[in-house]
Amino acid sequence: MFGLARWWRRRGLRDPGFSPEQWAATMQGVALLRDWSPAALARLREQTVFFLRAKTFTAAEGARLDDAVRLLIAAQACVPILRLDIDYYDGWRELIVYPDTFVTRHQEHDEAGVLHSWRQPSAGEAWSHGPVVLSQTDVEESARARDGFNVVIHEMAHKLDMLNGDANGFPPLHREMRVQDWVSGWSASYEAFCAELEAGGAPALDPYAAESPAEFFAVMSEAFFELPDEVLAHFPLLYPQLTGFYRYDPRGPA
């Protein structure tokens, strides 16, 4: 690391912008982090400091956005990059926080060229090269229970997926990973998941994952960090791909 970066890093860690008590309260409030090792939590704290420095938060529709909420979002947002560089979140700056689910307008041309538009309530959104939008109620619910649902991890997974273009379930892989293994593993698992849903089976994952390969990757990422044993049991082909991409195994010592 060069001089300036090192200085910046040291300064950031000396003056994190939150107190040890605030950090401890955040850790208590995120169920997912309760059994993490001190070393993993120290690394998470470091990433959180850099995240808070690099990002801005905007309150929408009267959201009560205080330090505790910002810290709760930032800490969960840094879970996917625990073992990656903070640069993985480059290229966007803003997080917009609504008090609860928000309604967004969607438009799409169908095959006949007809434009359809509809409004849909959302807990979170990640815009390509743009902001991440979150519902505060859903952020808090995500923190409270380790149940496989985490809107912050979900939107961050979309951001990672978008590092090499549109969200399509194919993020930029590390040099040691094989593209062929990723593509074959994910497409086979996605197809099997959709087929099982269609046949009326009880899905091992939030059925929303069937929406598209991008959603499959984002929903799988939530489950991977929150309930890794379930992901390993139901998606054995994908588990090593996830530990390879996130450079982290939630089942092992963090």
Residues 6+ apart with CB under 8 A from 58: 65, 94, 95, 96, 97, 131
Q: How far is the CB of 158 from Zn ion (least distance, A)?
A: 6
**Whole-angstrom distance, CA of residue 178 vs CA of residue 175:** 8
**Whole-angstrom distance, CA of residue 156 vs CA of residue 80:** 7
**DSSP code of residue 173:** P
Residues 199-228 that bind Zn ion (CB under 5 A): 215, 218
Contact between residue 52 and residue 17 where contact means Cβ atoms under 8 Å apart:
yes
Residues 6+ apart with CB under 8 A from 122: 101, 102, 103, 104, 133, 135
> How, if at all, do strands 94-98 and 132-135 pair?
parallel
Using CB atoms, what's the residue nearest to Zn ion?
218
Token pair, residue 227, equals 């309930």
Residues 46-85 that bind Zn ion (CB under 5 A): none
Nearest residue (CB) to Zn ion, 138 versus 215: 215
Nearest residue (CB) to Zn ion, 88 versus 208: 208
Nearest residue (CB) to Zn ion, 71 versus 218: 218
In the stretch 3-42, what mask flags binding to Zn ion with x, by CB under 5 A? ----------------------------------------
Q: How far is the CB of 155 from Zn ion (least distance, A)?
A: 7
Nearest residue (CB) to Zn ion, 47 versus 150: 150
Q: What is the radius of gyration, based on Cα positions, of the chain?
A: 18
Nearest residue (CB) to Zn ion, 215 versus 226: 215
Q: How far is the CB of 209 from Zn ion (least distance, A)?
A: 9
Is the four-CA dihedral 28, 31, 32, 37 of positive or negative sign? positive
Q: How far is the CB of 154 from Zn ion (least distance, A)?
A: 6
Q: Does position 133 bind Zn ion by CB under 5 A?
A: no
Q: How far is the CB of 214 from Zn ion (least distance, A)?
A: 7
Q: How far is the CB of 215 from Zn ion (least distance, A)?
A: 5
By CB under 5 A, the count of residues binding Zn ion is 2
Nearest Cα to 84, choosing from 156, 6, 32, 133? 156
Nearest residue (CB) to Zn ion, 72 versus 218: 218
Nearest residue (CB) to Zn ion, 44 versus 218: 218
Residue with tokens 């912050």: 152
The SS3 assignment for 69 reads: helix
Q: How far is the CB of 36 from Zn ion (least distance, A)?
A: 25
Q: Which residues bind Zn ion (CB under 5 A)?
A: 215, 218
